[in-house]
Amino acid sequence: MTKELIEQSRGRHAFAGVALVVTTITLAVSLVIVATAVSIGIARADTLVPIAASGVGRFALALFLGFLIAAVGALTAAMVRRDRTAPQRRD
């Protein structure tokens, strides 16, 4: 009885390995398709050239990037602070 259960368990693990490989391959193919679609979209959009051509557009783009960098920095600081001040366990 025990040997039969062990063999059934091994069979399930082998099947799980096949599913993992298929899922990994599917994810890789999906990432290639997404990268291709995004690249084609960026090439067809060509929106940064008119924005960067005007002075106001450059300022708006620089302001947006500055806010984006500041937001990422604030998020990082909040995460570090949260880890440092983890609640202490009271016994």
24-67 pLDDT per residue, tens: 899 999 999 999 988 888 777 766 677 667 778 778 888 999 99
Are the CB atoms for 60 and 51 separated by under 8 Å?
yes
**In 3-state terms, what secondary structure has residue 14?**
helix
Q: What is the pLDDT of residue 23?
A: 87
Q: What is the pLDDT of residue 32?
A: 93
Are the CB atoms for 15 and 7 separated by under 8 Å?
no
- Average pLDDT value over all residues in the chain: 78
Q: Write down the pTM of the prediction.
A: 0.38
